[in-house]
Amino acid sequence: MRIPRGLFGIAKEVLRHLLRRPVVGFVVFARTPDGRLVLIRRGDTGEWAMPGGTLEWGETFRSGLPRELMEEAGVELVTEGELLGVYSDPSRDPRFHAVTIVLSATVSEPKRPPMTPMEILEVRCFGDDELPSPLSHKMDDMLKRAKSNERFWE
């Protein structure tokens, strides 16, 4: 089930006035031990994306990382990776001004379905030669830089 564009626009405008501050979150360049990339298919856009989310109140990135990976992709964190990038362009996310930290990690194969099936429609592991494009929320450049191990911030 997709969110109607009109409702989405109204919600975005309300959030813009309420928040008036960037939302801090992260996405994970998550690879299985055999090197495949774990992606989620989002319910709002129907497009593929790297798993991730926003930090909860009082949470650190280290504690949010395994929580979001399990919630969105049904995978367990095997090894924390590195900080790969910081993306802060206000036009990147159509919902609100997001500051997105890109982290790398090694994760298990998906062990269970996403916890929010309306938000996350599907989880798949992709080889480098079968990655979908375009990715949701303008993540193509994030993925390209993460694959080449290029550090980036804006």
Q: What is the pLDDT of residues 63-118, one digit of tens each?
A: 999 999 999 999 999 999 999 999 999 888 877 788 999 999 999 999 999 998 88
Contact 133, 143 (CB under 8 A): no
Amino acid at 99: V
pLDDT, position 13: 67
> All domains of the chain, ordered by start, with CATH?
5-153 (3.90.79.10)
pTM of the predicted protein model: 0.85
pLDDT above 80: residue 11: no
Which range, of 1-5, 14-18, 83-87, 140-144, averages the lowest pLDDT? 1-5
Instruction: Please tell me the number of Cα atoms within 13 Å of 136 on its side-chain side.
Output: 19
pLDDT, position 4: 63
Q: What is the pLDDT of residues 31-57, one digit of tens each?
A: 999 999 999 999 999 999 999 999 888
pLDDT above 60: residue 1: no
Of 64 and 15, the structure prediction assigns the larger pLDDT to 64
pLDDT, position 109: 95
State the residue for tokens 């997001």: 98
pLDDT above 80: residue 130: yes
pLDDT, position 51: 98
Contact 119, 40 (CB under 8 A): no
pLDDT, position 46: 95
Across 51-87, b (16+ Cβ under 10 Å) vs e yields bbbebeeeeeeeebbeebbbbbbbbebeeebeebbeb
Contact 83, 71 (CB under 8 A): no
> Three-class SS string for 33-51?
CCCCEEEEEECCCCCEECC
> Looking at residue 67, what DSSP letter applies?
H
pLDDT, position 95: 77
